[in-house]
Structure 1
Protein backbone atom coordinates (compact mmCIF):
# COMPACT_ATOMS: atom_id res chain seq x y z
CA UNK A 1 0.00 0.00 0.00
CA UNK A 2 1.48 3.36 -1.03
CA UNK A 3 1.91 6.15 1.47
CA UNK A 4 -0.23 9.30 1.06
CA UNK A 5 1.41 12.14 -0.85
CA UNK A 6 1.93 15.18 1.39
CA UNK A 7 -0.66 17.82 0.57
CA UNK A 8 1.39 20.83 1.67
CA UNK A 9 4.82 21.67 0.24
CA UNK A 10 7.23 24.35 1.42
CA UNK A 11 10.70 25.48 0.43
CA UNK A 12 12.18 26.89 3.65
CA UNK A 13 15.34 26.70 5.74
CA UNK A 14 13.76 26.24 9.17
CA UNK A 15 10.64 25.02 10.92
CA UNK A 16 9.58 26.57 14.23
CA UNK A 17 7.44 24.33 16.42
CA UNK A 18 4.77 25.07 18.98
CA UNK A 19 4.45 22.26 21.54
CA UNK A 20 0.98 22.02 23.16
CA UNK A 21 -1.58 20.88 20.62
CA UNK A 22 1.04 20.72 17.86
CA UNK A 23 3.82 18.27 18.67
CA UNK A 24 2.25 17.04 21.89
CA UNK A 25 -1.10 16.57 23.62
CA UNK A 26 -2.37 19.51 25.62
CA UNK A 27 -4.06 16.99 27.89
CA UNK A 28 -0.70 15.60 28.99
CA UNK A 29 0.48 19.07 30.01
CA UNK A 30 -2.76 19.92 31.82
CA UNK A 31 -3.36 16.54 33.46
CA UNK A 32 0.23 15.53 34.31
CA UNK A 33 2.59 18.51 34.31
CA UNK A 34 0.30 21.13 35.83
CA UNK A 35 -0.56 19.07 38.95
CA UNK A 36 3.11 18.11 39.29
CA UNK A 37 4.16 21.77 39.46
CA UNK A 38 1.22 22.82 41.64
CA UNK A 39 2.26 20.33 44.30
CA UNK A 40 5.82 21.69 44.35
CA UNK A 41 5.57 25.50 44.12
CA UNK A 42 5.79 26.04 47.90
CA UNK A 43 8.81 23.75 48.31
CA UNK A 44 10.60 25.43 45.40
CA UNK A 45 10.13 28.92 46.86
CA UNK A 46 11.29 27.71 50.28
CA UNK A 47 14.28 25.60 49.23
CA UNK A 48 15.60 27.75 46.38
CA UNK A 49 14.69 31.28 47.41
CA UNK A 50 18.31 32.34 46.90
CA UNK A 51 18.41 31.03 43.33
CA UNK A 52 18.60 34.10 41.01
CA UNK A 53 16.06 32.64 38.58
CA UNK A 54 13.60 31.90 41.38
CA UNK A 55 14.12 35.32 42.95
CA UNK A 56 13.58 37.04 39.60
CA UNK A 57 10.35 35.10 39.00
CA UNK A 58 9.04 35.97 42.47
CA UNK A 59 9.83 39.64 41.83
CA UNK A 60 7.90 39.43 38.55
CA UNK A 61 4.90 37.92 40.34
CA UNK A 62 4.96 40.77 42.84
CA UNK A 63 5.21 43.31 40.03
CA UNK A 64 2.35 41.79 38.03
CA UNK A 65 0.07 41.60 41.08
CA UNK A 66 1.02 45.05 42.32
CA UNK A 67 2.02 43.64 45.71
CA UNK A 68 5.75 44.30 46.28
CA UNK A 69 5.64 42.66 49.72
CA UNK A 70 3.79 39.45 48.82
CA UNK A 71 5.09 36.60 50.99
CA UNK A 72 5.74 33.09 49.61
CA UNK A 73 2.22 31.93 50.52
CA UNK A 74 0.70 34.82 48.56
CA UNK A 75 3.00 34.12 45.61
CA UNK A 76 1.97 30.44 45.61
CA UNK A 77 -1.70 31.46 45.73
CA UNK A 78 -1.17 33.67 42.68
CA UNK A 79 0.68 30.93 40.80
CA UNK A 80 -2.14 28.48 41.47
CA UNK A 81 -4.75 31.02 40.33
CA UNK A 82 -2.81 31.59 37.11
CA UNK A 83 -2.58 27.84 36.66
CA UNK A 84 -6.36 27.52 37.05
CA UNK A 85 -6.81 30.18 34.36
CA UNK A 86 -4.09 28.67 32.12
CA UNK A 87 -2.50 32.09 32.05
CA UNK A 88 0.75 32.28 30.06
CA UNK A 89 2.51 34.43 32.66
CA UNK A 90 6.29 34.42 32.30
CA UNK A 91 7.13 33.93 36.03
CA UNK A 92 4.67 31.02 36.23
CA UNK A 93 6.30 29.39 33.21
CA UNK A 94 9.77 30.00 34.64
CA UNK A 95 8.98 28.30 37.95
CA UNK A 96 7.11 25.46 36.25
CA UNK A 97 10.14 24.94 34.01
CA UNK A 98 12.46 24.60 37.00
CA UNK A 99 10.15 22.09 38.67
CA UNK A 100 9.60 20.08 35.50
CA UNK A 101 13.33 20.03 34.72
CA UNK A 102 13.97 18.40 38.09
CA UNK A 103 11.10 15.97 37.52
CA UNK A 104 12.38 14.92 34.11
CA UNK A 105 15.92 14.58 35.45
CA UNK A 106 14.71 12.32 38.28
CA UNK A 107 12.70 10.19 35.89
CA UNK A 108 9.39 11.22 37.47
CA UNK A 109 8.29 12.62 34.11
CA UNK A 110 8.60 11.52 30.48
CA UNK A 111 7.37 13.85 27.74
CA UNK A 112 4.67 13.10 25.17
CA UNK A 113 4.83 13.44 21.38
CA UNK A 114 2.22 12.49 18.80
CA UNK A 115 3.26 9.43 16.79
CA UNK A 116 3.77 11.37 13.55
CA UNK A 117 6.04 14.01 15.06
CA UNK A 118 9.38 12.40 15.92
CA UNK A 119 9.80 10.59 12.57
CA UNK A 120 9.08 13.86 10.75
CA UNK A 121 11.53 15.83 12.90
CA UNK A 122 14.27 13.27 12.32
CA UNK A 123 13.60 13.21 8.59
CA UNK A 124 13.58 17.00 8.28
CA UNK A 125 16.73 17.34 10.35
CA UNK A 126 18.49 14.74 8.20
CA UNK A 127 17.85 16.86 5.09
CA UNK A 128 19.59 19.86 6.67
CA UNK A 129 16.44 21.65 7.77
CA UNK A 130 16.87 23.60 10.99
CA UNK A 131 14.34 23.03 13.76
CA UNK A 132 13.44 25.56 16.46
CA UNK A 133 10.91 25.56 19.29
CA UNK A 134 8.72 28.52 20.29
CA UNK A 135 6.49 27.76 23.24
CA UNK A 136 4.90 29.63 26.13
CA UNK A 137 6.65 27.10 28.35
CA UNK A 138 10.07 28.28 29.51
CA UNK A 139 13.30 27.37 27.73
CA UNK A 140 14.19 25.20 30.74
CA UNK A 141 10.93 23.29 30.34
CA UNK A 142 11.47 22.93 26.59
CA UNK A 143 14.98 21.60 27.12
CA UNK A 144 13.71 19.02 29.61
CA UNK A 145 10.79 18.12 27.35
CA UNK A 146 12.94 17.37 24.30
CA UNK A 147 15.70 15.61 26.23
CA UNK A 148 13.38 13.23 28.14
CA UNK A 149 11.18 11.56 25.53
CA UNK A 150 10.09 7.94 25.12
CA UNK A 151 12.41 7.87 22.08
CA UNK A 152 15.46 9.30 23.82
CA UNK A 153 17.13 12.69 23.73
CA UNK A 154 15.80 14.79 20.85
CA UNK A 155 17.66 17.99 21.76
CA UNK A 156 20.39 17.35 19.15
CA UNK A 157 17.70 17.85 16.50
CA UNK A 158 16.91 21.35 17.74
CA UNK A 159 18.89 24.45 16.77
CA UNK A 160 17.29 26.84 19.26
CA UNK A 161 14.63 27.29 21.96
CA UNK A 162 12.40 30.35 22.32
CA UNK A 163 9.86 31.36 24.95
CA UNK A 164 7.89 34.45 25.94
CA UNK A 165 10.89 35.82 27.80
CA UNK A 166 13.58 35.69 25.13
CA UNK A 167 11.27 36.19 22.13
CA UNK A 168 8.13 37.87 23.46
CA UNK A 169 4.37 37.14 23.46
CA UNK A 170 3.30 34.53 20.93
CA UNK A 171 0.53 36.64 19.38
CA UNK A 172 2.76 39.60 18.52
CA UNK A 173 4.49 39.78 15.10
CA UNK A 174 7.56 41.40 16.65
CA UNK A 175 8.29 38.16 18.54
CA UNK A 176 8.59 36.29 15.26
CA UNK A 177 10.83 38.98 13.84
CA UNK A 178 13.14 38.49 16.84
CA UNK A 179 13.29 34.75 16.23
CA UNK A 180 14.06 35.22 12.53
CA UNK A 181 16.83 37.67 13.40
CA UNK A 182 18.23 35.27 16.01
CA UNK A 183 18.22 32.46 13.43
CA UNK A 184 19.85 34.71 10.86
CA UNK A 185 17.14 33.93 8.30
CA UNK A 186 14.80 36.06 6.16
CA UNK A 187 11.19 35.74 7.35
CA UNK A 188 10.17 34.01 4.14
CA UNK A 189 12.55 31.13 4.88
CA UNK A 190 10.73 30.12 8.09
CA UNK A 191 7.66 27.94 8.60
CA UNK A 192 5.67 28.04 11.84
CA UNK A 193 3.51 25.11 12.99
CA UNK A 194 0.90 25.81 15.67
CA UNK A 195 -2.67 24.96 16.60
CA UNK A 196 -3.54 28.51 17.65
CA UNK A 197 -4.94 30.95 15.05
CA UNK A 198 -3.70 34.06 16.87
CA UNK A 199 -0.13 32.76 16.85
CA UNK A 200 -0.35 31.81 13.18
CA UNK A 201 -1.70 35.28 12.36
CA UNK A 202 1.24 36.92 14.15
CA UNK A 203 3.81 34.73 12.38
CA UNK A 204 2.28 35.46 8.98
CA UNK A 205 2.20 39.18 9.74
CA UNK A 206 5.97 38.90 10.32
CA UNK A 207 6.39 37.38 6.86
CA UNK A 208 6.58 33.69 7.79
CA UNK A 209 4.92 30.69 6.19
CA UNK A 210 2.35 29.04 8.46
CA UNK A 211 0.49 25.77 8.86
CA UNK A 212 -2.24 25.26 11.41
CA UNK A 213 -2.14 21.81 13.02
CA UNK A 214 -5.63 20.47 13.84
CA UNK A 215 -5.68 17.35 15.98
CA UNK A 216 -8.95 15.83 17.24
CA UNK A 217 -9.46 16.36 20.94
CA UNK A 218 -7.25 19.44 21.15
CA UNK A 219 -8.77 22.66 22.56
CA UNK A 220 -8.50 24.60 19.27
CA UNK A 221 -9.60 21.77 16.96
CA UNK A 222 -13.21 22.91 16.73
CA UNK A 223 -12.27 26.56 16.24
CA UNK A 224 -10.07 25.77 13.27
CA UNK A 225 -7.05 27.69 12.01
CA UNK A 226 -8.70 30.51 10.12
CA UNK A 227 -7.45 30.99 6.56
CA UNK A 228 -4.07 29.33 7.18
CA UNK A 229 -2.98 26.14 5.47
CA UNK A 230 -4.13 23.19 7.58
CA UNK A 231 -2.72 19.75 8.43
CA UNK A 232 -3.92 17.01 10.74
CA UNK A 233 -0.46 15.45 11.10
CA UNK A 234 3.13 16.31 10.21
CA UNK A 235 2.97 13.59 7.53
CA UNK A 236 0.88 15.96 5.41
CA UNK A 237 3.72 18.49 5.20
CA UNK A 238 6.62 18.19 2.77
CA UNK A 239 9.62 20.49 3.16
CA UNK A 240 12.65 21.10 0.99
CA UNK A 241 15.54 23.56 1.31
CA UNK A 242 16.32 23.94 -2.39
CA UNK A 243 15.86 27.68 -2.35
CA UNK A 244 18.21 28.23 0.56
CA UNK A 245 20.74 31.01 0.27
CA UNK A 246 22.88 29.44 3.01
Structure 2
Protein backbone atom coordinates (compact mmCIF):
# COMPACT_ATOMS: atom_id res chain seq x y z
CA UNK A 1 0.00 0.00 0.00
CA UNK A 2 1.50 3.35 -0.99
CA UNK A 3 2.34 5.91 1.68
CA UNK A 4 -0.29 8.63 2.00
CA UNK A 5 0.81 10.39 5.18
CA UNK A 6 4.09 11.19 6.93
CA UNK A 7 4.15 11.51 10.72
CA UNK A 8 7.28 13.13 12.13
CA UNK A 9 8.85 13.61 15.51
CA UNK A 10 10.52 16.98 16.22
CA UNK A 11 13.37 16.73 18.71
CA UNK A 12 16.37 15.07 17.06
CA UNK A 13 14.39 14.55 13.84
CA UNK A 14 13.27 17.83 12.27
CA UNK A 15 15.05 19.95 14.88
CA UNK A 16 18.26 19.80 16.88
CA UNK A 17 18.11 18.27 20.35
CA UNK A 18 20.39 21.09 21.48
CA UNK A 19 17.74 23.68 20.54
CA UNK A 20 15.30 22.05 22.94
CA UNK A 21 17.72 21.47 25.82
CA UNK A 22 20.02 24.48 25.44
CA UNK A 23 17.49 27.12 24.35
CA UNK A 24 13.83 26.21 24.98
CA UNK A 25 14.10 24.47 28.35
CA UNK A 26 16.30 27.14 30.03
CA UNK A 27 14.07 29.88 28.59
CA UNK A 28 10.97 28.28 30.14
CA UNK A 29 12.65 27.47 33.46
CA UNK A 30 13.92 31.01 33.98
CA UNK A 31 10.54 32.56 33.26
CA UNK A 32 8.17 30.03 34.79
CA UNK A 33 7.98 31.45 38.36
CA UNK A 34 7.22 34.98 37.18
CA UNK A 35 4.83 33.75 34.49
CA UNK A 36 2.74 31.73 36.95
CA UNK A 37 2.63 34.49 39.53
CA UNK A 38 1.53 37.03 36.92
CA UNK A 39 -0.99 34.86 35.07
CA UNK A 40 -2.22 32.40 37.73
CA UNK A 41 -5.79 33.72 37.47
CA UNK A 42 -5.99 33.31 33.68
CA UNK A 43 -8.25 30.34 32.88
CA UNK A 44 -5.70 28.56 30.65
CA UNK A 45 -3.01 28.87 33.34
CA UNK A 46 -5.29 28.11 36.31
CA UNK A 47 -6.44 24.89 34.65
CA UNK A 48 -2.85 23.69 34.25
CA UNK A 49 -1.99 24.61 37.85
CA UNK A 50 -4.85 22.38 38.98
CA UNK A 51 -3.63 19.66 36.64
CA UNK A 52 -0.17 19.87 38.22
CA UNK A 53 -1.68 19.41 41.69
CA UNK A 54 -3.65 16.39 40.46
CA UNK A 55 -0.69 14.81 38.66
CA UNK A 56 1.60 15.31 41.65
CA UNK A 57 -1.01 14.09 44.15
CA UNK A 58 -0.75 17.40 46.02
CA UNK A 59 -4.28 18.88 45.90
CA UNK A 60 -3.52 21.54 48.51
CA UNK A 61 -0.16 22.70 47.09
CA UNK A 62 0.20 26.48 47.06
CA UNK A 63 1.64 28.33 44.08
CA UNK A 64 5.23 28.21 45.35
CA UNK A 65 4.93 24.44 45.76
CA UNK A 66 3.44 24.10 42.27
CA UNK A 67 6.40 26.06 40.89
CA UNK A 68 8.86 23.76 42.66
CA UNK A 69 7.03 20.69 41.35
CA UNK A 70 7.20 22.03 37.79
CA UNK A 71 10.88 22.97 38.04
CA UNK A 72 11.60 19.48 39.37
CA UNK A 73 9.76 17.92 36.45
CA UNK A 74 11.79 20.08 34.07
CA UNK A 75 15.05 18.91 35.62
CA UNK A 76 13.87 15.30 35.25
CA UNK A 77 12.63 15.97 31.67
CA UNK A 78 9.25 14.52 32.62
CA UNK A 79 6.77 14.15 29.75
CA UNK A 80 3.87 15.51 31.80
CA UNK A 81 0.99 17.16 29.95
CA UNK A 82 0.43 20.20 32.26
CA UNK A 83 4.17 20.95 32.25
CA UNK A 84 4.28 20.81 28.46
CA UNK A 85 1.20 23.04 28.23
CA UNK A 86 2.71 25.70 30.50
CA UNK A 87 6.06 25.55 28.71
CA UNK A 88 4.18 26.12 25.46
CA UNK A 89 2.49 29.23 26.84
CA UNK A 90 5.83 30.64 28.01
CA UNK A 91 7.50 29.86 24.70
CA UNK A 92 4.64 31.55 22.85
CA UNK A 93 5.53 34.83 24.53
CA UNK A 94 9.17 34.31 23.59
CA UNK A 95 8.33 33.67 19.96
CA UNK A 96 5.94 36.62 19.84
CA UNK A 97 8.63 38.93 21.23
CA UNK A 98 11.22 37.65 18.77
CA UNK A 99 13.43 36.28 21.55
CA UNK A 100 12.94 32.76 20.17
CA UNK A 101 13.17 31.38 16.64
CA UNK A 102 12.35 27.73 15.98
CA UNK A 103 15.19 25.59 14.70
CA UNK A 104 14.34 23.27 11.80
CA UNK A 105 17.10 21.56 9.83
CA UNK A 106 17.35 22.93 6.26
CA UNK A 107 17.11 19.40 4.82
CA UNK A 108 13.88 18.88 6.77
CA UNK A 109 12.45 22.16 5.49
CA UNK A 110 13.25 21.23 1.89
CA UNK A 111 11.86 17.68 2.18
CA UNK A 112 8.68 18.74 3.96
CA UNK A 113 7.98 21.29 1.23
CA UNK A 114 8.62 18.71 -1.50
CA UNK A 115 6.43 16.08 0.15
CA UNK A 116 3.63 18.57 0.67
CA UNK A 117 3.84 19.59 -2.99
CA UNK A 118 3.62 15.93 -4.02
CA UNK A 119 0.40 15.51 -2.07
CA UNK A 120 1.59 13.67 1.01
CA UNK A 121 -0.30 14.67 4.16
CA UNK A 122 2.14 15.76 6.86
CA UNK A 123 1.59 15.42 10.61
CA UNK A 124 3.62 16.02 13.74
CA UNK A 125 3.76 13.78 16.82
CA UNK A 126 5.92 15.10 19.65
CA UNK A 127 6.01 14.94 23.44
CA UNK A 128 5.96 18.74 23.37
CA UNK A 129 2.48 20.27 23.43
CA UNK A 130 0.62 20.94 20.19
CA UNK A 131 0.98 24.65 20.95
CA UNK A 132 4.76 24.27 21.25
CA UNK A 133 4.89 22.30 17.99
CA UNK A 134 3.03 25.02 16.11
CA UNK A 135 5.37 27.66 17.53
CA UNK A 136 8.54 25.85 16.43
CA UNK A 137 7.26 25.52 12.88
CA UNK A 138 5.30 28.77 12.79
CA UNK A 139 8.15 30.94 14.03
CA UNK A 140 11.03 29.00 12.51
CA UNK A 141 14.27 30.39 11.15
CA UNK A 142 12.91 29.37 7.73
CA UNK A 143 9.64 31.27 8.21
CA UNK A 144 6.12 30.01 8.86
CA UNK A 145 5.97 26.30 7.97
CA UNK A 146 2.62 25.50 9.59
CA UNK A 147 0.84 25.54 6.23
CA UNK A 148 2.66 22.33 5.34
CA UNK A 149 1.00 20.30 8.08
CA UNK A 150 -2.46 18.77 8.23
CA UNK A 151 -2.42 18.14 11.97
CA UNK A 152 -0.49 17.84 15.23
CA UNK A 153 -0.44 15.23 18.01
CA UNK A 154 1.07 15.24 21.51
CA UNK A 155 0.92 13.14 24.67
CA UNK A 156 -2.85 13.61 24.87
CA UNK A 157 -2.93 10.89 22.17
CA UNK A 158 -0.84 8.58 24.36
CA UNK A 159 2.82 7.86 25.05
CA UNK A 160 5.22 7.77 22.13
CA UNK A 161 6.54 4.34 23.10
CA UNK A 162 3.05 2.78 23.14
CA UNK A 163 1.82 1.16 19.95
CA UNK A 164 -1.77 2.07 20.76
CA UNK A 165 -0.91 5.79 20.40
CA UNK A 166 -0.02 5.27 16.76
CA UNK A 167 -3.23 3.38 16.10
CA UNK A 168 -5.14 6.28 17.68
CA UNK A 169 -3.36 8.74 15.39
CA UNK A 170 -3.95 6.64 12.26
CA UNK A 171 -7.64 6.48 13.12
CA UNK A 172 -7.77 10.23 13.78
CA UNK A 173 -6.29 11.08 10.36
CA UNK A 174 -8.36 8.34 8.66
CA UNK A 175 -5.36 6.68 7.02
CA UNK A 176 -4.48 2.99 7.34
CA UNK A 177 -1.38 2.53 9.53
CA UNK A 178 0.34 0.74 6.64
CA UNK A 179 0.05 3.97 4.62
CA UNK A 180 1.73 6.14 7.27
CA UNK A 181 5.51 6.66 7.42
CA UNK A 182 6.76 7.59 10.90
CA UNK A 183 10.07 9.41 11.37
CA UNK A 184 11.94 9.52 14.69
CA UNK A 185 15.39 9.40 16.26
CA UNK A 186 14.25 7.08 19.09
CA UNK A 187 14.29 3.32 18.56
CA UNK A 188 11.50 2.62 21.08
CA UNK A 189 9.20 5.03 19.25
CA UNK A 190 9.99 3.43 15.90
CA UNK A 191 9.29 0.01 17.41
CA UNK A 192 5.92 1.20 18.75
CA UNK A 193 4.91 2.69 15.41
CA UNK A 194 5.87 -0.51 13.58
CA UNK A 195 3.88 -2.55 16.12
CA UNK A 196 0.87 -0.46 15.09
CA UNK A 197 1.54 -1.28 11.44
CA UNK A 198 3.23 1.91 10.28
CA UNK A 199 6.25 2.13 8.01
CA UNK A 200 9.25 3.60 9.82
CA UNK A 201 12.49 5.46 9.20
CA UNK A 202 15.05 6.39 11.84
CA UNK A 203 17.04 9.64 11.85
CA UNK A 204 20.63 9.48 13.07
CA UNK A 205 21.46 13.18 13.21
CA UNK A 206 24.23 12.89 15.78
CA UNK A 207 26.11 9.62 15.86
CA UNK A 208 24.54 6.23 15.25
CA UNK A 209 21.07 4.89 15.87
CA UNK A 210 20.92 1.21 16.75
CA UNK A 211 17.59 0.16 15.34
CA UNK A 212 16.09 -2.64 13.29
CA UNK A 213 14.61 -0.02 10.94
CA UNK A 214 15.82 1.88 7.88
CA UNK A 215 18.08 4.66 9.21
CA UNK A 216 19.26 7.82 7.43
CA UNK A 217 21.32 10.85 8.43
CA UNK A 218 19.04 13.49 6.94
CA UNK A 219 15.65 14.00 5.31
CA UNK A 220 17.09 14.21 1.80
CA UNK A 221 17.99 10.52 2.12
CA UNK A 222 14.36 9.48 2.60
CA UNK A 223 12.67 8.02 -0.49
CA UNK A 224 9.01 7.91 0.47
CA UNK A 225 8.02 6.23 -2.78
CA UNK A 226 10.24 3.25 -1.90
CA UNK A 227 8.04 2.29 1.06
Tell me the residue number matched to 2:174. 184
Higher relative contact order (CA 8 A, sep 6+): 1
RMSD (Å) for aligned C-alpha atoms: 1.6
TM-score, reference length from structure 1: 0.88
Find 1:204's aligned residue among 178, 194, 209: 194
- The answer as to whether partners of 1:111 and 1:149 remain within 8 angstroms in 2 is yes
Deviations 1:167-193 (A, max 9, x none): 111111111111111111011010100
1:150 and 1:67 mapped to 2: Cα distance?
40
2:221 and 2:214 mapped to 1: Cα distance?
11
Deviations 1:75-122 (A, max 9, x none): 111111111111111111110001111111111100111221100000
Match status 1:144 vs 2:135: yes
Deviations 1:44-100 (A, max 9, x none): 212222333322221221122211011111111111111111111111111000111
- State the SS of the aligned residue for 2:224: strand
Match status 1:86 vs 2:80: no
- State the SS of the aligned residue for 1:207: coil
Q: Which runs of 5+ in 2 are unaligned?
A: none
Deviations 1:115-148 (A, max 9, x none): 2110000000000001100000001111111110
Runs of 4 or more, structure 1, over 4 Å off, are none
Q: How many residues align?
A: 227
TM-score, reference length from structure 2: 0.95
1:225 and 1:158 mapped to 2: Cα distance?
29
> Comparing both structures, which one devotes a greater share of its residues to helix?
2
2:146 and 2:108 mapped to 1: Cα distance?
14
Report the Cα offset of residue 240 of structure 1. 3.4
Find 1:19's aligned residue among 10, 13, 35: 10
Q: Which runs of 5+ in 1 are unaligned?
A: 1-9
- State the SS of the aligned residue for 2:34: helix
Match status 1:71 vs 2:62: yes
